[in-house]
A and B are shown apart, each in its own frame.
Chain A
Amino acid sequence: MQIAQSKVNEINVIGVSGRLDIKYAQELENHILDLLKQDEKQLVINLEKLEFISSSGLRVLLFTAKQINRLNGKLALCGLKERVKETFDMVGFTALFNIYTDEKTATNSL
């Protein structure tokens, strides 16, 4: 897994590529927690380069959504590949998140 961080206006874009699994989930959680600590609470998580997600990764996304809700922040996801989308569908995550096809639409939605 690799994390690419950028900031457009007030919105933080986190690009996650590779595999979000048991080995890397904690790293993403720490990255997001650091942002939240800096009061950065408008997040777009771009998953267009994400090849694999397991429950460890799903857990980080749900945890992030819960934190953002609590802080009255905003969160959008974008760019889910077919397999990742199927995983989201299986666990009811598709209805849980604001999901957009590309980063621009996701950023504009916040």
Chain B
Amino acid sequence: MKKLQFTIKKSLSEVERVRVELEQFYVDNGLKDKAIYELELILEELLSNIINYGFVDRKFQPIILNVGLNNKNVVLSVKDKGKPFNPLELEDPDVSGSVKDRKIGGLGIFMLKKLSDNVKYEYKQKSNVTTILKKIR
């Protein structure tokens, strides 16, 4: 399995830097456009959630991202010291209502779950560890 690790500081440019590097990594390893798009979407939703909400009540600490890739899967593992947040416990939003009824929010984690083949969450050593597996073949 090929592996990469990133340390992400609290800035949106950092999220972009990681995305650009990862995109090249995915392309170099022959991933198809659709898989790359979906992996980028999954990661952006996960990171933006942590950056926007994880540290509202505490000092920001860098997020650690581990990426693993083999012939069949990509595994994204994100570790952050933000407040405990289990994405699996978040209720799915209603995606059928009218403009008036639809709530703004909750779509990111919903898409993350939809696009992942497996989502695992653990809270250990005062950190959220969210691990996502996505099949690429």
| In the complex, B56 has a CB within 8 A of chain A | no
Hey, which chain B residues are within 8 Å of A37, CB to CB?
none
Interchain residue pairs with CB less than 8 A apart (7): A22-B48, A54-B44, A56-B44, A87-B41, A91-B107, A92-B96, A96-B99
Count residues on chain B whose CB falls below 8 Å from chain A CBs.
29
Binds A, one of B12-20, B65-73, B76-84, B125-133: B12-20
Q: Is the CB of B111 within 8 A of A55?
A: yes
Chain B window 81-109, contacts with chain A (Cβ cutoff 8 Å), 1 for yes, 0 for no: 00000000000000110111010110110
Name which of B96, B108, B110 has the most chain A CB atoms within 10 A of its CB. Answer: B108
CB neighbours of B102 from chain A (8 A): 62, 96
| Residues from chain B with Cβ under 8 Å of A58 in the complex | 107
Interchain CB contact under 8 A, B12 and A87: no
User: Cα distance A62–B104 when bound, in Å?
Assistant: 7
Q: Find out whether the CB atom of B108 lies under 8 angstroms from the CB atom of A54.
A: yes
Contacts of A69 in B (CB 8 A): 99-100
* A95 CA to B115 CA, complexed, in Å: 20
